[in-house]
Amino acid sequence: MKYESQRVAKPYFIAALALFAGQIVFGLIAGFQYLDGTFLFPEIPFDVAHMSHTNLLIVWLLMAFMGAAYYIVPEEAQTELYSPKLALITFWVFLGAAVLTLFGYLFVPYSQLAAMTGDKLLPTMGRGYLEQPLPVKIGIVLVALSLLFNITMTLLKGRKTSLNLILIGALWGLALLFLPAFYFPIDTVKASYSWWWIVHGWVEGDWELILGALLGFILIKMTGVDREIVEKWLYVIIAMTLVTGIIGIGHHYYFIGAPRYWIWLGSIFSALEPIPFILLIAFAFKMLLRRRREHPNKAAMLWAMGTPIVAFLGAGLWGFMITLAPVQNYVHGTNLTAAHGHLAFFGAYAMVSLAIISYAMPLLRGREANSAAAQRWEMSGFWIMVISMIGITLALTGAGIVTAFLQRMGAHPLGFMQVQSKERVFFWLREFCGLCFFGGLVVYLRSFFMSGEYEYSDEAIRALAS
Amino acid sequence: MQQVFTKAMARNIFLGGAAFFLIIYLVLTYDTWQQIPVRDHADKMTPAVVAGRYLVDTNDCVGCHTINGEGAYFAPELDNVYKRRGAAFIKAWIRSQPTGVAGRRQMPHFNFSGQQLNDIVAYLKWLSNVDTNNWPPNIQG
């Protein structure tokens, strides 16, 4: 940590991890309701557990991205943050709004929440990931504007590196792409078509730029590789992201009422969407091999190397499996999509967030790296969470395939609930892996409560001195 | 040998590529916008259909169900539920929730009026006539 104002990142990272834990709890509840539909009903109906799970995901990732921005932008710009005070106020506003929204979901029936918060004035509620009441959506825009103002002013007074331009540009993109949340046309097909501007625009476009920038920053810092090389790679990767991803949005348009040409366009371009993830793996490992130093934070390096691999599996491989129109015809809206969603969100965005937290938190706590013992706990958490998430993905894949065969194919397709009852073994497996994931999270969080910093061996100290 | 592929070239590919495909997307979106009202019979969106859709949104139906494959995967597809079940069944079903059957997935009770149920059915009927390129593949959704 080079600048005092980078400290504002710390509460963002801590809150991100707390909300992450909350997300997993609601995931476990929703997952168990697949097995016992009366569990916690009517106190927490499935839709409430589900929207709490997905909304907490978005909020904790945004928290982590914002923390990362407040940490990275000053260091890249080589100047103090424009206003650390504003960043802190923004933090409390955002956290307060998030907690209040969650309480709203949990304690007020959704239609009543809509009525209480003026949804009639400008209907925005009732879309996946965008369930928040109108005032909360406005609050999200204000929080984003505050962040953008703060980091843009910092950029303007400091050094303008390509990495900082990519990161700040992508955060502007993130905010702009949220604005269609206020556009909810009465025509369902148009509503669906424009909903993807946000969801696809974020996770298969703009956020990949953020992912690249965070990973690039970590690699520059940890490997000591020349930034010119890192930034050139980044531009190539994000060029491929948008070249394939913009028209690739067509894979969401096959069966929602949009014209037939999207079947061809979406299939061709989305089939190319794994390319940037393959490049990301090549990039990360090339930088690792070219490293000019051995950073003591082994755990952060593990997260940084694991991110592109798991992101490729989840976004690239599982995404490709369901993206071609003739396949999607049978698997659209099944748990195969959920399988892809879980591994892609985790591999790409959760893991890169944990990577930057892993790199920055020890520095924010005044040490280059955590003690070897703490890192062992953290790396154990890494493996348990990654393997558990792959388990969840495989279980949901099994369930999705059963639905495709029994409900979508054949001369005598079975009804939805009948098919679901044949998938119980997969739902048990998913819940079991979910509990393992939670265990992994506890192991991971344990590492933060271990004191002491990394101690170099005598040999290393002598080598450093010479 | 000097670097043949520079950072500036990579940046230009990024900016040029993004701008090029964004323009193509905007053109396609304009065309799609012209076609959607024909494909989904927007002229048949009566006030009842609009009211029904608002009820579907503000009761978070896609928190469990899917509509054209979008939503959650806890409960059946609603795109063709009108054709699968018919108006009378849908209304009776919503009215009788929750079933309370042990272990079975539960749908909350929504206290809809008769008029509101008619609106929801009108919306689901409209939805079932949208041209979705023959999706879902069969009546089971």
End-of-domain residue from the set A184, A204, A232 = A184
CB-CB under 8 Å, B76 with A123: no
H runs (alpha helix) in A158-273 = 162-178, 188-201, 207-223, 227-248, 261-271
Q: Could you tell me which of B31, B77, B56 has the C-alpha nearest to residue A188?
A: B56
> Does residue B73 share a domain with residue B127?
yes
- Number of folded domains in chain A? 2
CATH number at residue A98: 1.20.210.10
Q: A426 lies in a domain?
A: yes
Contact indicator for A232, A216 with CB cutoff of 8 Å: no
Note the pLDDT of residue A457.
Answer: 81
Over residues A206-231, the pLDDT tens digits come to 999 999 999 999 999 999 999 999 99
Q: How far apart are CA B57 and CA B50, in angstroms?
A: 11
Residues of B in contact with A38 (CB under 8 A): 100, 102-104, 106
Tokens describing residue B95: 């009215």
- Nearest neighbour of B36 by CB, restricted to A126, A189, A255: A189
Residues of A in contact with B135 (CB under 8 A): 254-255, 329, 332
Q: A79 lies in a domain?
A: yes
Note the pLDDT of residue A67.
Answer: 98
Query: Interhelix angle for A162-178 vs A188-201, to 10°?
Result: 160
Residue A67 CA to its chain's centroid (Å)? 14
Q: A256 lies in a domain?
A: yes
Q: How far is B125 from chain A (nearest CA, A)?
A: 13
SS3 content of chain B, % helix, strand, coil (to 5): 55, 5, 40
CB-CB under 8 Å, A125 with B57: yes
CB-CB under 8 Å, A259 with B32: yes
Residue identified by tokens 């298969």 is: A204
ipTM (interface pTM)? 0.96
> Does residue A241 share a domain with residue A150?
no
Interval A313-320 mean pLDDT: 98
Q: Is the pLDDT of residue A381 over 70?
A: yes
Phi-psi region of B77 (alpha: psi -120 to 50; beta: other; left: phi over 0): beta
pLDDT band at B128 (very low <50, low <70, confident <90, very high): very high
Q: A200 lies in a domain?
A: no
pLDDT band at A464 (very low <50, low <70, confident <90, very high): confident
> Does residue B13 share a domain with residue B59?
no
Q: Which helix (H) or strand (E) holds B70?
A: strand B70-71
Residue identified by tokens 């993807």 is: A196
> Does residue B69 share a domain with residue B31?
no
Q: Could you tell me which of A394, A395, A397, A310 has the C-alpha nearest to residue A353?
A: A310
Interval A92-99 mean pLDDT: 98
pLDDT band at B2 (very low <50, low <70, confident <90, very high): low
Note the pLDDT of residue B122.
Answer: 98
Interval B5-34 mean pLDDT: 97
Interval A16-31 mean pLDDT: 98
CB-CB under 8 Å, B32 with A262: yes
Q: How many residues does chain B have?
A: 141
Tokens describing residue A397: 């894949």
Residues of B in contact with A185 (CB under 8 A): none
> What domain range is A408 assigned to?
215-446
> Does residue B127 share a domain with residue B58?
yes
> Does residue A401 share a domain with residue A252?
yes
> Does residue B56 share a domain with residue B22?
no
- The chain B residue lying nearest A249, using CA atoms, is B25
> What domain range is B20 assigned to?
1-39
Over residues A146-163, the pLDDT tens digits come to 999 999 999 999 999 999
CB-CB under 8 Å, B25 with A246: yes
Mean pLDDT of chain A: 97
Chains A, B: CB pairs < 8 Å: 217
Note the pLDDT of residue A30.
Answer: 98
> Does residue B113 share a domain with residue B80?
yes
Note the pLDDT of residue B1.
Answer: 44
- Number of folded domains in chain B? 2
CATH number at residue B50: 1.10.760.10
> Does residue B48 share a domain with residue B25?
no
CB-CB under 8 Å, B18 with A243: yes
